[in-house]
Amino acid sequence: MQLQRRIGLFLISKLCMFVILWLDPILCDPQTNLLIKGCSQYNATELPVFYANLNATLTELRNQLAGPNKTFFSTSQQGQSSNPVYGMAQCRNYLSTTDCLVCFDSAVALIRTCSAANGARVIFDGCFLRYESSSFFDQTTEPGNTAICGNKTATSTNGFQTTVNTLLNDLVTATPKINGYFAAVKSAVAASGGAAVYGVAQCAQTVSESGCADCLSVAYKNIEICVQESDSRAVDAGCFMRYSQTAFFADNQITNIAQYLNTGDILGATELRGPVNFSYRDLKIATKNFSEENKLGQGGFGDVYKGVLRNGTIVAVKKLIIGKSSRAKTDFESEVRLISNVHHRNVVRLLGCCSKGPELLLVYEYMANSSLDKILFGEKHGTLDWKQRFDIIVGLARGLAYLHEEFHVCIIHRDIKSSNILLDDYFQPRIADFGLARLLPGDQSHLNTRFAGTLGYTSPEYAILGQLSEKVDTYSYGVVVLEIISGRKSNDLKLEPVTQYLLEWAWKLYEEDELMNMVDKSLSSNAYDVNEIKKIIGIALLCTQSSVAERPTMSEVVVMLLSKGQLELTPTRPIFIDATNKIRGDTSSSTGLPPINVTDSITQVSGR
């Protein structure tokens, strides 16, 4: 019997080789690239009974996969009392039945090398196999969940990374709602000459919908660190996620997930319609007549209130303080329609508006953890750990890269600051408050306009000369990063000496090679890597260069933040510091400073 099976596998492999050479390599590929193999540290007792139960379990799993129902998922339990064996197998749904069985048989051959271990698992690109001495069928996310990053940088890093993030976010949302918990999608990379990203997500069919969603959310967070690579995976006990710049499934296997992306549907809108037009009466009821108890905050463009719609959806409603002329109303509606089509996981979603009441109202998705400034400088100061801060730094960069480079027109926010960065349930950042946003035509490098923004965050060429480009947001981003690392406001006058602002202080520490004195004292020194902190401060200083040309684009910032290996960053002294030092009689040189040369310590897992 074993000889017959081996002969069968040999013939199948030869058939696959023929198809690969003459037809489409995707059509016959069991995808047995090994990702994970693990054996329990504990051995089974009564080995003859254990092996009999294990063999019966593996046979039953294969029979289910090979059965007429064309299932890609199977479970089995053999042995009721003595040395029971619980088993689970799953293939990716885009595989053929033949490829699924080849992948399964390869997993069986490998898992048997665990010998008498009472539990083991093997995960390939195309399938996984696991057995245990107790039931694990409802497990979702467990210790050991990880990302497996590829070892080749994507060829189109700018648009590629944003496309990957959008694709994975959509998979996390849609897959738990799909019968069978599997989705395969393909997304075109903007302005890349036809390049695309392929992605899949899959959960074990024995977990709950909420368990699948939780598992994929963890997988997404793990795989985010890999998005500069062309092909990466995330694995967990109950789910799997992968994306690649190269097709690994055929186009006829693509899942239509649009019907499951209900970010607009819960309010009666679709992705293509633009914003929902709410009635003033409904929003008044939702916010309890814009009561003080529902007030979330206030800004230069109006107060924000928490509201609960009739369908139970929690929203944030902003009253705008602008004119009610017909021109103002027309501009309001056209800009709302534009911003409502901005879809990115690091940009607050505009759900709708109301222009037929005593005030103009905007309706946004509600962010449970309020704004970044309240966490950094308020009563909750010190509650963010380093990983959360790093995620905010990276997420904010990704959101800005999308606005500047990936949306169909360049959107300049003009007022990036910690109070305009909101945090969701998982402390992921969302860029908010587009009251000052401007569009940059594709044929122009900058606009000349009157200054509007917040001093302390604004670049000198815009504050003084009114020259507006996307690099104004880059400058503001650099200041916010320094706030995140230090836990101090940009205009914190409690710094030493008293007259220094945050950016000036950062530059002084850079000159004196004392950058670690900038780190928030609430962070444990064991919680972060010194080289990583220095690198990120160096990136922030690059973003705040006086010369617009010397500031990186936000997509370049994302690449630097997630890069492996050494980065040589050589920022030059900002103009405002030179001017300040001249007043003080400081004659030190503004050039020839040592570069920040560090090794990135972000944990990466070898992909192959």
Domains, in order of start, for the chain: 2-132 (3.30.430.20), 146-260 (3.30.430.20), 275-365 (3.30.200.20), 372-599 (1.10.510.10)
What is the pLDDT averaged over residues 562-582? 63
Which residue bears the tokens 């058939």? 15
pLDDT in tens, 186-223: 998 876 677 899 999 999 999 888 889 889 988 998 89
The pairing of beta strand 302-308 with beta strand 421-423: unpaired
Residue that wins the pLDDT comparison between 504 and 585: 504
Contact 422, 348 (CB under 8 A): yes
* Six token digits for residue 95: 């595989």
Neighbours of 372 (CB within 10 A): 26
The secondary structure of the chain in percent helix, strand, coil, rounded to multiples of 5, reads 40, 20, 40
Instruction: Name the 3-class secondary structure at 22.
Output: helix
Write down the catalytic residue from 170, 415, 433, 473: 415
Instruction: Flag the least confident range among 114-128, 163-177, 265-279, 467-481.
Output: 265-279
Q: Give the per-residue pLDDT at 14.
A: 43
Distance CA 476, CA 167 (A): 28
Find where tokens 């693509």 sit. 254
* Least reliable range by pLDDT among 83-92, 159-168, 367-376: 159-168
CA dist 43 and 552 (Å) reads: 55
Residue 118, pLDDT above cutoff 80? yes
What is the average per-residue pLDDT within 162-190? 90
Q: What pTM, to 2 d.p., does this model score?
A: 0.55
Convert the pLDDT of each residue in 369-391 to its tens digit: 889 999 999 888 888 999 999 99
What is the chain's mean pLDDT, rounded?
80
How far is Cα 281 from Cα 286, in angstroms, rounded to an integer? 9
Distance CA 429, CA 419 (A): 11
67 near 87, Cβ under 8 Å?
no
Structure token digits, residue 389: 């801060």
Q: In the chain, count of helices (H) and strands (E)?
A: 15, 24
The answer to whether residue 404 scores a pLDDT higher than 50 is yes
Q: What percent of the chain has pLDDT over 70?
A: 78
Pair 42, 118: CB distance under 8 Å: yes
pLDDT of 576 above 70: no
Give catalytic status of residue 492 as yes or no.
no
Of the listed ranges 379-393, 435-449, 473-487, the one predicted with least confidence: 435-449
Rounded alpha-carbon distances, angstroms, from residue 105 to 14, 87, 119: 16, 14, 18
pLDDT at residue 497, rounded to an integer: 55
Q: Is the pLDDT of residue 347 over 60?
A: yes
- The whole-angstrom separation of Cα 271 and Cα 268 is 10
276-277 and 350-354 strand pairing: parallel
Digit-coded pLDDT (tens) for 295-342: 988 765 678 999 998 878 899 998 876 665 565 566 566 567 667 778
- CB distance 320 to 302 below 8 Å: yes
Instruction: Look up tokens 């000159």; give the residue.
Output: 511
Q: What distance lies between CA 381 and its chain's CA centroid? A: 24
- Note whether 554 and 401 are within 8 A (CB): yes
Residue 296 burial (CB count, 10 A)? 18
Query: Rounded to 5 degrees, what are φ and ψ at 111?
Result: -70, -25
